[in-house]
Amino acid sequence: MTSETPAQIHHTVMRSQASEVVERGRPGPAGLPPPLVLPSYGGACLDSLAPSLLAPPDQRADWLPAALRAAEQVVLLVLDGLGWLQLQERAHLTPTIAGLEGRPISSVAPTTTATALTSLALGMAPAAHGIVGYKFVVSGPSGREVLNVLRWTTRSGDARQFLAPRSVQPFPAFEGVAVPVVTRADFSNSGFTQAHQQGVREAPWHVPSSIPALVRRLLLEGEPLVYAYYEGVDRVAHATGLGHLYDAELGFVDWLVGETLSSMPAGAVLAVVADHGQVDVGPRAALLAPEVAAESELVSGEARFRWLHGRAGRVEALVDLARARYGGEAWVATREEIVDTGVLGGVPGPEALGRLGDVALIPLGMNGYIDPTDSGDAKLVCRHGGLSPEEVLVPLLVAGAL
């Protein structure tokens, strides 16, 4: 007779499902230490979803839920930050979503919005499209600067003035098909939108209650694929953690899913997916140790996938220092180890490779590493970017029109 509580048994089952979706790192010096996992690039992963949906029904991937493999019209509703494990633990709060059929699939790495949404829209691994994190190094007016991809800013200001988004990421979205994108009007023409959604047709909304109405109109016009995006879950998790306000937001997105389903014409299929999950880090995120920060010329990435850029001639010293300081609580990996292990889904080209740091800090537990020069970084409660199952696993859940 088991001594585990029902909650513990449930958690064990969820972990078992995780192991079926994500890949373990290869053993050896460059492998991922447990519990870190690799995304399932080329398989049940965000980078394979759009190409399969754009293919004729009889050519779609067999890992897709059956309803998606046969659908003539698909709505892909992306709920930013809604991880599979967090959703399963709160199924009682989301009766509509809980009634959908589907499975967990994997995000990409880093498990951050900038990288994951680009992989989703382009059907490419991060190594191929080059948006290799939330923040990475570019050439700016004052030399090497760190680009905040979502804001498209550096310390020099609006990076669109000197760094065209299409020069950073040149590939068209959705294989060049002008897919309609239902998204917040504020995101229109932003640097990041230009970088990862080239060639789409925007259908902007000002309040999220407009999403179902816009989706319905596009389907009635005959669109075979409609992409819709809502970021509320991620915003709440960052600001307040996985508490009662997060639970309230899940109730809202459950309504949003139900209302979208109700608005869709017969024959259309709704697919709910997310870009990444979350971990509640809270006070466990700490400033980089002063000696590590002092040895770093620049700091990029984010707290759960932190890149350190060494000073000229001092890279080996930085690696040794980082391993001595953080080796017991993080995977401390060089740029070469990150690439060799397959974390980015391949070998980046020379330009994208130059955007990476010299050494990465990827937490093994629920902690993170804060850039001491970024005051906003310290305010987040939930975080993502790392390689835990909580961050890597995302839902792919489907239902036909009600």
* CATH number of the domain that residue 121 is part of: 3.40.720.10
**101-119, pLDDT tens digit by residue?**
999 999 999 999 999 999 9
What is the distance between the alpha carbons of residues 18 and 83, in angstroms, rounded to a whole number? Answer: 11
Give me the domain span that covers residue 220.
Answer: 7-130+158-279+387-400
Are 290 and 249 in the same domain? no
Are 195 and 303 in the same domain? no
Assigned domain for 147 exists:
no
Residue 31's pLDDT band (cuts 50, 70, 90): confident
Assigned domain for 196 exists:
yes
**84-105, pLDDT tens digit by residue?**
999 999 999 999 999 999 999 9
Are 46 and 125 in the same domain? yes
Distances (CA, A) of 119 to 11, 207, 313: 29, 26, 34
Are 113 and 46 in the same domain? yes
Are 313 and 392 in the same domain? no
pLDDT recorded at residue 375: 75
Query: What would the two tokens of residue 26 be?
Result: 């290869």
Assigned domain for 260 exists:
yes
Assigned domain for 45 exists:
yes
Are 256 and 332 in the same domain? no
**233-288, pLDDT tens digit by residue?**
999 999 999 999 999 999 999 999 999 999 999 999 999 999 999 999 999 999 99
Are 166 and 257 in the same domain? yes
Assigned domain for 143 exists:
no
Assigned domain for 324 exists:
yes
CATH of residue 360: 3.30.1360.180
Are 110 and 244 in the same domain? yes
Assigned domain for 370 exists:
yes
End-to-end C-alpha distance for the chain, whole angstroms:
43
Number of structural domains the chain divides into: 2
Are 185 and 331 in the same domain? no
CA proximity to 402, closest of 98, 96, 78: 96
Assigned domain for 151 exists:
no
Distances (CA, A) of 298 to 49, 246, 295: 35, 34, 9
Cis peptide before 110 (omega within 30 of 0): yes
Are 75 and 109 in the same domain? yes
Are 310 and 227 in the same domain? no
**DSSP three-state, residue 310:** strand
**283-323, pLDDT tens digit by residue?**
999 999 999 999 999 999 999 999 999 999 999 999 999 99
Q: What is the b/e burial string over 351-366, where b = at least 16 CB atoms within 10 angstroms of the residue's CB?
A: ebbebbbbbbbbbbeb
Are 238 and 301 in the same domain? no
* pTM for the structure as a whole: 0.94
What is the distance between the alpha carbons of residues 107 and 104, in angstroms, rounded to a whole number? Answer: 10
